[in-house]
Chain A
Amino acid sequence: MIPLSYYLAFTAILYIVGIYCLATKRNMIRLVLGIEILVNAANLNFIILSANWKTGFVDPFAHSIVIISTALAGCISAVALTIVVYAYRHYGTLDARKLRRLRG
C-alpha cells in the first residue's frame, strides 16, 4: 500500500505547482489554468483523505464536496476567460506582464 504521506505530498506539490504557475507564467490563459490547478489540488486532497478513514470505505461526503467544487471552479474559469478576452481586446496581447498600467 502506498502510504498516505506520499499522496499528501503529491497534492502539496500540485498546490506548489499551481502557485508557481501563477507566479511565473506570462500568458493569461496559463494563469487561469494555474488557478484551476490550485483548485484541483484541493479537490484531490479531499478525495485522498476521504479514502483514509477505514480500508475499503470511502466517505461520500468528500466526493459531493469535490463535485460542487469542480462546478464552482468551472464558473470561475468562465468568468476569468471572459475577462481575458476583454483584456486581449484592450491590450492586444495575452502577456500578463503588459498589464502594468496600474501601479504605485
Chain B
Amino acid sequence: MGDGGVRHLLRRAAIGLLLAAAACAPRRSPAPSASGTLELRFLDVGQGDAALIRNGGKAVLVDAGPTDAIAGKLRALGVDSLGVAVATHNHSDHIGGMDAVLASFPVRFYLDNGDPANTRIQRTVLQLVRDRGVTYLQATDRTIEVGDARIRVVPSPVRDRPADQNDHSVALLLERGAFKALLTGDSERREMEGLLHKALATDVDVFKAPHHGSRTGILEGWLERIRPEVVVISVAAHNDYGHPHAEALAAYQTAGAHVFRTDRDGDVIVTVDAAGCYEVRTAHGGPASVARGGPAACAPPPLKESLP
C-alpha cells in the first residue's frame, strides 16, 4: 500500500470516529463562519443543481438550479455579489435560475461550456452576460483563485456530440490545503472515462454525485480512483426520474462514502480550514457536525468534549 492508501485509510478512520461521536453528541453551536473558513454549500434547489463557494470574502456560484428561487436563497445567505457564476452545462435544471442571478447581483465573470442549447433560457442568460458587461470565461484548463482556495477548471474531454450537454459538463476541482472537492455537473460515462484518462483527481474529500445520483453517473473504476469520503446528491424528493437510482446509491455505499442528499438533508454545508480539515453540516440536521475529515492531523475531538 502506498502513501496515498495509508493516508486514505487514516482519513477514513477519522471520519468514522466523528460519525460515531456525532451520533451521541448533543447539538453544538455552529462552526464559526468567520474569515478563514472556506464554505462549500450545496443548496437545496429541488430537482437541479446549485452550489455556493465562499472564501476570503469572495463567492462563486456553480449552477443556479431550475428556478429564480435561487436569487432569494443567495440573498438570505448574505450574498451581495458573485466573483464567478458557472454553468456546468446548459440544461434548464442548472441554468433555470441563472437569469435571476445575473439580474439580481453584480457578477464579475461568467463561465459555461460554450455550447449552444438553443433554449430561451440560455439565450436570455447569454444576453444578460453580454448586456451587463459580465466578463465571459471559456471552459479551458485554467485556475480560479478564490482567496487562498483554488478552483481548477477542466473542460469536458468529450467534444464529438455537440447535442449532448451532460457529457459536455465543465468539471471543477476545488482545493484548499489538503482538501479536495470534485464537481462534474451531469457528466455521464463518456465524459467520466475521459476525465479518468486525464487523471483529474484521486482521494477527493467531497464528490458531488453526477446527474442527481443517476445510474448514468456510475462508471467502473471511477470511485476506486477518486475514493470520495463524502458524496452529495442534489435531488428533489419524489422526482419524476427516479433519482437517485438504487445502483448509484449502492455504488456510493460500497465505496464507503458518507452520502448526503439535499431532498432529505436540505442544504449540505462543508466548511474547510486552511489546512484542509473539513466538517459537514446539514440544514435539517442543525448546527452539529455530522461528518468531519481531512488530513491525518485533523483528528476528531476527544469524545469527552462532546459530552455534557
- A, B assembled together: no
Interface residues of A (CB under 8 A from B): none
